[in-house]
Structure 1
Amino acid sequence: MTQMQSTTSTFTASPSPRFEGTGLNLVAKRYVAEDHNPDGVTLIFFHCTGSHKEVFEPIIPDLLALKHPVEGKPIVREAWLLDNPAHGDASVYNDEALKRQEAGFTVEEWCECFKILYASGAFEGHTLIPIGHSVGATAIILATMPSALPPISFKSLILVEPSLITRAAWDEHLEQQEFALKTVSTMITKRRDTWKSRADARAYFEARIPWGSWDPRILDLFVQHALREVTVEENGQPVKKVTLCCTRLQEYTQYTNTEPHFVAADRVGTLDRSVAVHVILGEREDVVPEYCHDSVLELRPVASLQKVPDAGHFVVQENPDGLGVAIARILTGEAAPRAAL
């Protein structure tokens, strides 16, 4: 087992005028192996909606242990896991700031928070490879585009089950897309979000989709990091319970805010060809239809395309070991281009 150290840090950012004067806390966890290579690449992980940064923890030790097949040196310098500021630990730090907003936090604002962190010099001298799952993939693509802050240069991008679709494909399948969006939105607004204890919550998740299909380690991490303690009043008395870190409003907003996914899809086609784009999908088609992925894959040749067995859109949660193998194959140069599949 690779010996590594982890540290958690918070950074204050004001990604938009909505948060001027209060700012938001971007919470990051950094992992460094004892025998790390300062010339190696730095991996930065962006999770999906409703999740938390620690969801990637099961695959971090093996990635830090990867050695160059010829030189024998560690490939990875360090790994960073970032909370969306409306999720996980960050949601606790940002509770008051988020409550003061009538609209939910957006993926564009998450991207700007990361850009502010990058501009602070935190990654000076690092060679960056971001890894984004679902909406996290949208975030890292948006980071390559100019905004109030300059674009970020990455060595390559690893898109895991990206929630991207071109406008043309959306319009072509408009009825199906709108129905799916309405169904998900209704589920979110009616979903249970409070339990008497973490054990009670875990039992609830185990018996329901999608949590019931998750790797037990991932479910344990979800119960630990995607829930927080709250005090509610029952029969005139304060009672301690647990609730989701990502509120229903925040989750609803990130699912229904479709525009950034169109923008990010277009960006895939115009991104400098020197930046390698790798795609990892779940073998099972479930949440994101194949035509969504195809609409983006047709925009440019990808450096590699892999499909992880025993997994669908929630590949990070369902088969973390398989995902780790796929990422390792990219980092060691073993992943095949799409044409070879």
Structure 2
Amino acid sequence: MKRRTLLASGAAAATAAALGLPARAQSPLKVGFVYVGPIGDGGWTFQHDQGRLAVEAQFGDAVETVYQESVPEGADAERVMAQMALSGCGLIFTTSFGFMDATVAAAEKFPDVKFEHATGYKRAANLATYDARFYEGRAVIGHIAGRMTKTNKIGYIASFPIPEVIQGINSFFLHAQKVNPEVELVVIWAYTWFDPAKEADAAKAMIEQGVDVIAQHTDSTAPLAEMAKTPGVIGFGQASDMAEYKPSPRVASIIDEWSPYYIKRVQAVLEGTWESTHSWGGMTEGEVVIGEMTDAIPEEIRAEAQGMIDAITAGTYHPFTGPIAKQDGSVFLAEGEVATDEQLVTMNFYVQGITGDIPS
């Protein structure tokens, strides 16, 4: 575990005064981050760690941050959280869906510590949850995929069959299909958040099936590295920009910008105003960002994608707006009907046009 060096209390007091914080902030608030992958994954964990660094930059001597990377989802996670709490952490962020039950257990054992769990739904008086509307970004890259595929075969490397991932698959396909009714979607379940070998194998298998545009809901850059071996195959950065693969195969990206949320929640603890809440921000809040669309995307398609970004950000377009049917043909949303958050967070079906089954 890496830790930030404690600085002198006098310097901490000066920083607290500059920030307008109460006197009790003179002892640095210790903030812990529990990561499912390595901070060098280039994707999900890397981006969360950028948020941690933003907290340090914002608050300086008023905070101390610690993190543990590559924590397995399960009993090990609860032990890591307990160690952080016992070491003096007053606020702990746990940054993967599979940490949910461990976070609940740790919050029960340490009622004086505030916990925040990413992408989960179980809350308590000292346990908040936060998420991002990733499906908004999937709509944009789905549009790009539908417009740019030459084989009419697009792919999605999925991690685990949870609502967040199913939302992404459906949003990606719906928006590809809107601009290209002939498009087919190949889904491969990797059953991992971070395993470069499995992720690369999934991309390779898709390419061998004729897929020429690939999205991923896994955390490493391995799929893009595999795409780079085959001219004409393109993909997208996931969770972070993955800019090293610009201008192609990475032609755009979905960036999870956690910094504003982390700064806001640390500020609340320092001010004594923290409450257990659920946050689900998206493009409007600046938490879901589409990275640079490179010149590998024709100008006309870039303009179309930007129009969608602008509409989602302004709140004039929702990616799940009817008519939308489920895979079995039954109605999910009628003409003009917009999905509720409850419908989205419980999504457990494919939309019409996607073949195959969701694993149980």
TM normalised by structure 2 equals 0.30
Greater RCO (CA < 8 Å, at least 6 residues apart): 1
Structure with larger Rg:
2
